[in-house]
Amino acid sequence: MTRKFFKSRSGNIPLPVFFPDATRAVVRCLDTSDLESTKTSGILVNTFHLWRELGEDVMEKFGGIGNFMNWKGGIISDSGGFQVMSVIKSGVMKGKIIDEGVVFYPSKNEKVILTPEKSIQFQFELKTDMVIVLDDFTDPKAGKAEAKISVERTISWAKRSKAEFERICKERTLAKSEKPYILGVVQGGKFQDLRKYCARELAKIGFDGFGYGGWPITDEGKFDLDSAKTIAQNSPENYFLYGLGVGKPDDLVACAGLGYNIFDCVLPTRDARHGRLYVYDAESIDEINIMKPNFYSFYNPEKQKYFSDKTPVSAACDCLLCTKYSKAYLAHLFRIEDFTAGRLATIHNLRFYGILTEKLREALDRK
């Protein structure tokens, strides 16, 4: 049994859904109108970055990140747990993980600590439709002992997060229908027993859904479907199943088959800026078949052979780029490094993911 809708401030959003990453309150290269043109129903914003860059005062003044961006669709806020990996472990910023929370040292004289409670508090300031608990990202290279520590910390932080969530709901006297969703994140790396244990312990705390946490790619570079399965199998009835940072189009199809219904990923937007566009192997949107192998391929506009190509990037797409412009024009925009290239490519890739979820909904409805 899976959920059919994601309740947002502006209405019910049918599932499954792909929310692009607007980490710092912008889907890179696009404004809110562009985003609407791709029929994107929701976005993911990031607690860590927005907390540092905007803070409580700005959020209070605007009454939430949606108003700030003038975005009417759904919004999920990520906790900042991923930044432990992406920012600290990659060495971009100094920091460490302690039981209290995550300590970041953005500069010599600056120390900020993000606790599970702080993360939840700020997410309430962001006024998002779903909040995510701060988790301790299991290093993909972690051995079992290390993975176990991150699982225990994740469970402990989840308890604190849930308590803080309930405290704020009570303080604000929010009716049940006014509460945002709260998502627990399952860690444990490649160890299925740890994934199972983590899921079961989180279920005891009680959430609206589970996120597939950690790094979803194996050493061989393949999507870790086993962990996705374990989490799905140990998820209570009617939970949201959220593939955090998932993924490639094929991964979405595979996960949707397991019951996953929310996805976000930087791939379509980052790939677009890097000149990699997704193209369905079909002559029209109706003819797209996401169940066949190799249902899409990549198109790189920066190749010389396309410099005078009058055809659109994809015949099976109704985005701004494909309905109005040629491959040659896009190639030109990339070559002269105009930002419009990134914009049109991002619009296209998001529409590709949008169509993908539309097709997934059709496929699930037929079941």
Partner RNA sequence: GCUGAGGUGGCGGAGCGGUCAAACGCACGAGACUGUAAAUCUCGCGUCCGAAAGGGCUACUCAGGUUCGAAUCCUGACCUCAGCA
The single residue of 21, 78, 129, 136 carrying the catalytic annotation is 78
Nearest to 266 by CA among 331, 324, 229, 216: 216
H or E stretch covering 14: strand 11-14
Whether 193 is catalytic: no
Q: In the complex, what is the shortest distance from the CB of residue 266 to RNA, in angstroms, rounded to a whole number?
A: 3
Nearest to 342 by CA among 263, 246, 268: 268
Q: In the complex, what is the shortest distance from the CB of residue 286 to RNA, in angstroms, rounded to a whole number?
A: 28
Q: In the complex, what is the shortest distance from the CB of residue 365 to RNA, in angstroms, rounded to a whole number?
A: 25
Task: Identify which of residues 149 and 217 has a Cβ nearer to RNA in the complex.
Answer: 217
Whether 78 is catalytic: yes
End-to-end CA distance of the chain: 12
Residue type, 279: V
**What is the contact surface with RNA in residues (CB under 7 A)?**
20-21, 23, 27-29, 44, 46, 49, 78-79, 81-83, 85-87, 90, 92, 132, 135, 137, 185, 187, 211, 213-214, 216-217, 221, 223, 244-248, 251, 264-267, 269-271, 273-276, 300, 302-305, 335, 337, 339, 342
Q: Mention every residue, 6+ apart, whose C-beta is less than 8 A from residue 196.
A: 188, 230, 233, 234
The single residue of 135, 208, 224, 264 carrying the catalytic annotation is 264
Nearest to 22 by CA among 12, 14, 31: 31
Task: Identify which of residues 210 and 280 has a Cβ nearer to RNA in the complex.
Answer: 210
Q: Mention every residue, 6+ apart, whose C-beta is less than 8 A from residue 237.
A: 1
Using the CB atoms, write b or e for 137-156: b if 16+ within 10 Å: bbbbebeeeebbebbbbbbe
Task: Identify which of residues 146 and 283 has a Cβ nearer to RNA in the complex.
Answer: 146
Which residue in the block uniquely carries the two structure tokens 């432990």? Answer: 84
Residue type, 204: K
Q: In the complex, what is the shortest distance from the CB of residue 353 to RNA, in angstroms, rounded to a whole number?
A: 12
Q: In the complex, what is the shortest distance from the CB of residue 134 to RNA, in angstroms, rounded to a whole number?
A: 7
Task: Identify which of residues 159 and 285 has a Cβ nearer to RNA in the complex.
Answer: 159
Q: In the complex, what is the shortest distance from the CB of residue 188 to RNA, in angstroms, rounded to a whole number?
A: 11
d(CA 361, CA 116): 34
d(CA 181, CA 161): 13
Task: Identify which of residues 53 and 287 has a Cβ nearer to RNA in the complex.
Answer: 53
Contact by Cβ (8 Å): 64, 50:
no
d(CA 246, CA 357): 13
Residue type, 100: E
Task: Identify which of residues 61 and 335 has a Cβ nearer to RNA in the complex.
Answer: 335
Please identify every residue annotated as catalytic. Answer: 78, 264
